Structure 1
């Protein structure tokens, strides 16, 4: 009896994960409004009513997808402000974020859809993903970062590098033929990391004056 209950629980857990996987791909491709529960069920190979055994409705499923993706990025986001931000810590953090995006490309795609057409969970996205990057930090030991802050440009720098990293992910299908290689290959990842580090070095090495 107990063994049967455990087996059923394992099957239910496996089905829920498959539902989340299918929903993540569809929401990333079509956005919250464009994806349907029927499509999710079809991908999983179950009937639509069976979805409700695992998720109350479409919004609950979407929030679960977002939550799972945001959990993947939780560690670097929480770690960002645990110590003074030096050159080395900044490069390590940026590399961690870039690698997370390469491993979980659907977050950038979901963010793009949310920015364009909205959807539930937008506040969670802002608070868990964006807010830590815009946090005012008194521990900026790096002079270039302090200069950006003093000039009132730090938020714009954050947005610029965020867009640089995430647009690479969302536009990757269009770049594939131009590059002649998979944009998510290890070689392409190393090139992106080199570019980002080079740009960051240029920005933080240049004295920044406050805008007139």
Structure 2
């Protein structure tokens, strides 16, 4: 969906607001004020809170798909793909309201939108799975490829949880340990 400049502006403020307060504690009045308009003007662009939230979710997922694609493209030819994507998680969490919103939403979805959020995130995970598998050596046994991709996605999940609920030191320790273990898996 192509958004008008005003709708884009609303989404910019909404993602930060939803990332900080979550769906239930977010206020369309506050989002509209931050965007420099009245709540009634916000409704000219989005039918309701769910509509705005879903649009912000779609934007955040597009951004995450782009980040993943760029990370995997940057490491062509490495024996074990996915390290660049993992290495960037912490930085993106600190700097990207879209990524903070995405993680908060995925790990604590609003009850009314839970199924939609989970479905959308599973599609992203399928894309991440495809990127990882496409970057593996073609000679790798299919069973080993499946094991590696499942372990990799488990690492992604674990690190995302660490970003939300733990300290940077715990995140770094978990990141190092899990990546080291994954690298020990036989690729050839």
TM-score by length of 2: 0.67
1:112 is matched with: 107
* 1:66-109 deviation per Cα after TM superposition (whole angstroms, max 9, x unaligned): 12222222224335489976336432232244433332222211
The question of 1:164 aligning with 2:152 is answered no
> 1:148/1:97 Cα in 2 relative to 1: closer, same or farther (>3 Å)?
farther
2:11 is matched with: 20
> 1:116/1:77 Cα in 2 relative to 1: closer, same or farther (>3 Å)?
farther
> 1:156/1:109 Cα in 2 relative to 1: closer, same or farther (>3 Å)?
same
Alpha-carbon distance in structure 2 between the residues aligned to 1:201 and 1:116: 37
Structure 1 residue 20: deviation in Å?
Answer: 1.6
Residue aligned with 1:86, SS: coil
* 1:114-140 deviation per Cα after TM superposition (whole angstroms, max 9, x unaligned): 28771645433321x211233383652
Structure 1 residue 200: deviation in Å?
Answer: 1.3
1:204 is matched with: 183
Residue aligned with 1:106, SS: helix
Structure 2: gaps (5+ residues): none
Bigger Cα Rg: 1
Structure 1: gaps (5+ residues): 1-11, 176-182
User: Is the contact made by 1:26 and 1:40 (CA closer than 8 Å) also made in structure 2?
Assistant: yes
> 1:54/1:152 Cα in 2 relative to 1: closer, same or farther (>3 Å)?
closer
> 1:83/1:24 Cα in 2 relative to 1: closer, same or farther (>3 Å)?
closer
